[in-house]
Structure 1
Amino acid sequence: MASQAIKTLGLFKKPGIFDKGVGALLPEAYKKFYKEWKLTEPTAVHFIPEQGSFKRDDVTGEVHPIQNIPLPVLYPKEHNFHLWGGEGIIQGFQVRGKKKRRVPHFWVPNLRRSVVYSEVLDKHISVIVTERTINLIQEHFGFDHYLLKTPACDLKSILALGLKRKILQDLQNGCPSYVNKPDKQKEIHDRYRNYLSAYTPDEINWYGYSFAQACRMVQEDINKKEEEAIVPLKHVFRAQLIDQLKAADLEIEENSKYGEPKAGSWLNKINPFGKKHET
């Protein structure tokens, strides 16, 4: 801790999303997922990365450094409800003729609706996908293998991450979709259970949520605990009244054992026949 303070001495560290507000209360399990989702470099989709540090021009023989700079890709909010396989929208310019000026252009992936099947969930899901998503599912020999093998930085969409979390939870619970088919249940669970070794139960529960959803979950948990801790005043006053009545009954019983109740008791004050008057 002291060495870290010395390293940052004189430097201003900009607070991140996990350093302030509700984000500071998020567990380490969610921080691990967020690092995999947002801070890990995704697989190159829209360009072919070159190997090595330098390359030689075939014509001039000049040596140039290799710079694998990814293209800026746009991901609209609608992609969170689809499976795009890592594709996105590219904004650039296009020259549509030899003697024409370049014009702005957007390259959008080809989207189509298809049906995918999850063995673990035993469900057919109708969803909008791209051609790359279909190819990746076939390369991984199934929709479940594709989701479980692909890191969050390549899945990207909230829908894909939510399905992956649901599949992991079902595997953790022993594939409840096949509860009426014990043989099939054991077969499916044995086929996919190796994927559980990479996650803890807490990491599975926090996997696949956006930052806003995770903060909302923490805030709801805090509000619930505060509501449980607050006791309404009517319950407090009722308990106090019951204790006072019990104490008064005990005092009356003790006085009755040793004769008449005390003259100063509250029963004598309200009872007009409690005291005899001499004539």
Structure 2
Amino acid sequence: MEACTGKRMIICASTLVTVLLQLIGLLQLCNVVRLGLPIPPVVPALAMILPVVALFLSIFPVACPRRFAERRCVYPAIVAGNIVTTAHVLGRLCSRFIRSHASKCYEARWERWFQTKSCKIGRIERALQCCGFSTPYDRAFPFAENASGSDLCVKKYHFTDACADRWAYETEMVAKSCMFVFFMVLLASFVCLFRWIRACKGKKSLHEVNAAAEESDCDDGSANEFSKMIQTQDAAEVQLPSDDPPSYSVVESRS
């Protein structure tokens, strides 16, 4: 009864943590799409998928121990693949998006949208309540005719702050949130790998104990058979008739 209760608690806790991580990934995916952040949408999408894989790896040995024993060789391959994928994405996020607000990738993205007259700039300005990139008049939406220093945004929305710092801040927050999700997935994957190694060691030690017990039983059995053989020989020697002629006593007659 206590074992079933422990299994239920492990499954419920793992499911709850997975749902929370998925919600974080979904929220960051919405922020990437809504704000046009310079983060590939596949990153928050992986932040939604990898926790499900980690949940499967966590509850599979507990919920299905027999199938886990049958697929003991496939399980570490899935764990290793999850670890490699998570570590790779985590490393890319650390090296690419944790930078200063003056990163060139932000300005290059903004400049490309300004050249194509994309409405994404206006969507970012309304969401972050800002105008322009470096200043409220720097490549702002609505676009003026043949001019990058337009004051139409300030006049229309009455926003007096530039978008560069706020946009970079939102990008870093999304990157850090995804990094948190990937770190939790990586930690869970290492725990699953440790549990698999411990299970393999436990199974190996159990086999050694069984082998030693069988060997001791064989030794005891052979010793018992040897003692039985000796007892049988002794009994046979006692029952065999003697080869010496019988001795007769001579009774002298009285004169």
TM norm structure 1: 0.29
Higher helix share: 2
TM norm structure 2: 0.31
Which gives a bigger RCO, structure 1 or 2 (Cα 8 Å, sep 6+)?
2
Rg comparison, structure with higher value: 2
